[in-house]
Amino acid sequence: MNFDLTEDQQAFVQTAREFASHELAPHTARWDAEHHFPLDVIRRAAALGFCSIYSNTDCGGLGLSRLEAALIFEQLSQGCTVTTAYLTIHNMATWMVTGFGDAALKAEFGEKLTSGEWLASYCLTEAGAGSDAASLKTRAVREGDDYVLNGSKAFISGAGATDVLVVMARTADNGAKGISAFVVPAGTPGVSFGKNEEKMGWNAQPTRSISFENARIPARYRIGQEGEGFTFAMKGLDGGRLNIASCSLGTAQAALRAAHRYLQERQQFGRKLAEFQALQFRLADMATELQAARLMVYHAASRLDAGDADATLHCAMAKRFATDACFAVCNEALQLHGGYGYLRDFPLERMVRDTRVHQILEGTNEIMRLIAARKLLEKDSL
């Protein structure tokens, strides 16, 4: 097994690293403090292809692998966790439209999404349908050449600031098989947005509820056939889990780097902190856990790229392990900074706040355990 990156992959990593260093890192603390969603920076990221990393090339996407997406998101998140996390969501929504939409739908929305001219939000979760997403109640009723949507969505990233909503809605009452996917322009009459939620972290992007009250869209805005939406959503979430795990990797790497630097600079009892064996061991454990998480994410991404039958299992395990481990690395880095880590003058408190939600979204880590257990128990042996 060759772990070396190709020349192209090295170039993608370098481009993402430079963008993170110049466009994200210098501003992320201010964006967090001001609750500012940097649309201008997101569109500059789009100019490099970062809004369409694994979308189809026939719609202007880069057509890269999920492994290459993981490499890029890991680098970007070292500059700003939250902006990168939004880019992962836009990529997932764009991939769904360009991957499963018909030719007319792709012609109308594809290149506007891959270019970042239009930004997207992904609308699956509802107040009563979080972990049990198949129980969603938002309904789309066919009326002639249109669908009429009624219902609501919760915890939607970018809502109120994005142009396009990729919405999962019920078209029949037969559980997951009755869910369909739709593209809904955000300005459609009958679409309204709740307040920007006050959150522990992820302050640099808005999170709102969305209500649909007799929101009418053309039937041609349906993605695929009726009843295929939940299948698309689950396929999207395999990659989405790796995306958010990659954001955790990058943030934990930045936290580890900060801790390494602080241990070399800070002195107590007449010695550098780096000279205390107890702290050396903690740094070693942090680096080890991070590297283990990184290898799990890369392996799962390679399995997803290969179309492996166990890809969902690997994605769930990698998401669970990486988001838990990387949050722990960030939290430990804060601890190593002592009281300074708790101050907003240092980035650690923000990293802890921003990575905490990664253990919840794209399927909670409890659900990741459930998925993994079910997949394992389907096997005759291990």
CATH number of residue 346's parent domain: 1.20.140.10
Place of tokens 């369909």: 180
Q: Are residues 238 and 372 in the same domain?
A: yes
Q: Both tokens of residue 248?
A: 């955790």
Sorted by sequence, the CB contacts under 8 Å of residue 250 that are 6+ apart come out as: 73, 74, 75, 76, 77, 78, 81, 84
Which range marks the domain in which residue 246 is found? 230-377
DSSP string covering 144-163: TTEEEEEEEEEEEETTTT-S
Does some domain include residue 257?
Answer: yes
Which of 63, 85, 114 represents a domain boundary (last residue)? 114
Mean pLDDT of the chain: 97
User: What distance in Å separates the CA atoms of residue 50 and residue 87, rounded to the nearest whole number?
Assistant: 7
Which of 114, 144, 167 represents a domain boundary (last residue)? 114
Residue 231's CB is within 10 A of a number of other CB atoms, namely 15
Q: Are residues 235 and 135 in the same domain?
A: no
User: What distance in Å separates the CA atoms of residue 68 and residue 302, rounded to the nearest whole number?
Assistant: 9
Separation of first and last alpha carbons in the chain: 22
User: What distance in Å separates the CA atoms of residue 219 and residue 347, rounded to the nearest whole number?
Assistant: 47
Residue 147's CB is within 10 A of a number of other CB atoms, namely 24
Q: Both tokens of residue 221?
A: 């805005």
Q: Are residues 180 and 271 in the same domain?
A: no
User: In the chain, where does DSSP find H-type helix?
Assistant: 7-19, 28-34, 39-47, 66-77, 81-100, 103-105, 111-114, 229-265, 277-305, 311-336, 348-356, 365-377
* Angle between the N-to-C axes of helices 348-356 and 311-336, in degrees from 0 to 180, rounded to the nearest 10: 150
Digit-coded pLDDT (tens) for 257-286: 999 999 999 999 999 999 999 999 999 999
Q: Which residues are identified as catalytic?
A: 362
Q: Are residues 260 and 348 in the same domain?
A: yes
Confidence check: pLDDT of 312 > 80:
yes
Digit-coded pLDDT (tens) for 7-32: 999 999 999 999 999 999 999 999 99
Number of structural domains found in the chain: 3
* pTM of the entire predicted model: 0.96
Average pLDDT over residues 42-46: 98
* Angle between the N-to-C axes of helices 39-47 and 81-100, in degrees from 0 to 180, rounded to the nearest 10: 60
Which of 198, 225, 252 represents a domain boundary (last residue)? 225
Q: Are residues 365 and 235 in the same domain?
A: yes
State the pLDDT confidence band at 2, using cuts at 50, 70 and 90: confident
pLDDT > 70 fraction of the chain, expressed in percent and rounded: 100
Confidence check: pLDDT of 1 > 80:
no
